[in-house]
Structure 1
Amino acid sequence: MAIIVYVKAGECLILSSEQPFLVEINGSFFMSRACGLDVGDRWVGVAISDLTRTIVRPYTTVERDELDAFLQETIAKEKITLMVVGLPKTMSGTESDQTKRTREAFDALQSRFSTVEWVWCDERLSSRCAASMGKHVAPHKTTKDKMANEKRKEHARAAALILDSYLLSGRGSLDK
C-alpha cells in the first residue's frame, strides 16, 4: 500500500517499502534512482525515486519533442539506471492506438538510452487517480493558464503512480 504525503498543494511524495537498489560499476557499488514515464502524445510526465527507491515523487512534465534532451541530462544528473514506462491498455486489457504509439516511443527511447534498463508497467487508472489528487484546485478560482499547469502536473503525478506501482511490486528491488 502506498502512503501519499502532500508537501504542498498539487505535489506529493509516495512512500514504498522496498530496499535500496545497488549497482556495481568497476567493483564499486552505488545506489541508483528509478524514473517513471507517463508517455502521452504531447506531454510526458516524469517521476523519480530517491536513491533507496523507497520514495517516489512527481518530477516534471516535458514536451514530447524535448524528451531526448531532457533524458540525456537527467539520467546522468540523477543517477538513473531504471526507466519504468506506463503501458496504456484499455480497461479490458486490450491494446489501443495509444498503446501502439507508446510502444513505438519505448522502442526508440530504449535504443537511444541503452545503458538504462527499460521496463513496462500497467498504467490503467493512473491518470484518473492523478486527476483526483489534483481535485483541490478550485475551478471557479483558476485561470486557463492555471488549469493548463495543473494538467501538466497531473502527468507527473501519473508517472509517480506508475513508478510506485512497479517498485511496490518488488520488481525494482534487490529481492527480484
Structure 2
Amino acid sequence: MPRILAIDYGQKRTGIAVTDELQIIASGLTTVPSQTAIAFLKDYFSKENVAAVLIGEPKQMNGQPSESASIIKGFVTHFTNHFPDMKVIRVDERFTSKMAFQTMIDSGLNKKQRQNKALIDEISATIMLQDYLTRKMI
C-alpha cells in the first residue's frame, strides 16, 4: 500500500512526516529548508510510493485563513505544478505547533532541545498526519 506524506510548510523550514506502508502510523521524516522542499520531495517520490500528500492549511480561531495562508497557497501551486498527478489534501493545522511543543515537554526534552524549531516543524507534520489517519479510520 502506498504511503501518505504530510507537509508543514513554513517560510524558513518545512516539516515532513510519512506513514508506514500500511498507513497506520505517522512518523516524523525530516525538516528541510523550505527552498529545497520540492527537490527533496522529487527525490523521495522517486524512491517511495506515495498516494497522497497532506498540506497544512493555517486558519485563525474563527476559521478564516491566517496571515501565512497566502504563502502556503503559493507553495501548493508550486507543488501541484511539479507533481500534477499527486493527490493533495489540505488539512487544518491550528494548534499543531503548540501540540508539538507540549509533546516535546511530555517526552522529557530539556529546554535547549525544545528550542529546536526544526523538530517542532517535524512533530507538527506528524501530528497533522496522525490526526488525519485517526479521522480516516472512524
CA offset digits 1:77-121 (Å, max 9, x no partner): 121121000101011211122011111111110121112111101
TM-score (ref. length: structure 1): 0.72
Does 2:125 align with 1:153?
Answer: no
For the Cα contact (< 8 Å) 1:35–1:47, is it kept in 2? Answer: yes
- Is 1:121 the equivalent of 2:121? no
Tell me, yes or no, if structure 1 residue 67 matches structure 2 residue 62: no
Give unmatched runs, 5+ long, in structure 2: none
CA distance in 2, matches of 1:34, 1:131: 23
**Partner AA of 2:109 in structure 1:** V
Is the radius of gyration larger for structure 1 or structure 2? 1
Equivalent-residue separation in structure 2 for 1:72 and 1:89 (angstroms): 28
Q: Structure 1 residue runs of 4+, over 3 Å off?
A: none
2:54 corresponds to which residue?
A: 84
Higher percent of residues as helix: 2
Q: Is the 8 A contact 1:37 1:83 kept in 2?
A: yes
With 38-47 and 104-113 compared, the bigger mean Cα shift is at 104-113
Structure 1 runs not aligned, ≥5 long: 1-30
Shift of 1:147: 5.6
Give the aligned partner of residue 23 of structure 1. none
| Corresponding position: 1:41 with 2:11 | yes
Q: Does 1:138 align with 2:104?
A: no
- Is the strand fraction higher in 1 or 2? 1
Number of residue-to-residue matches in the alignment: 136
- Give me the identity figure in percent: 24
- 97, 113, 133: which is aligned to 1:167? 133
- RMSD over aligned CA atoms reads 1.7
Q: Deviations over 1:61-83 (max 9, x none)?
A: 00001111100011121211210
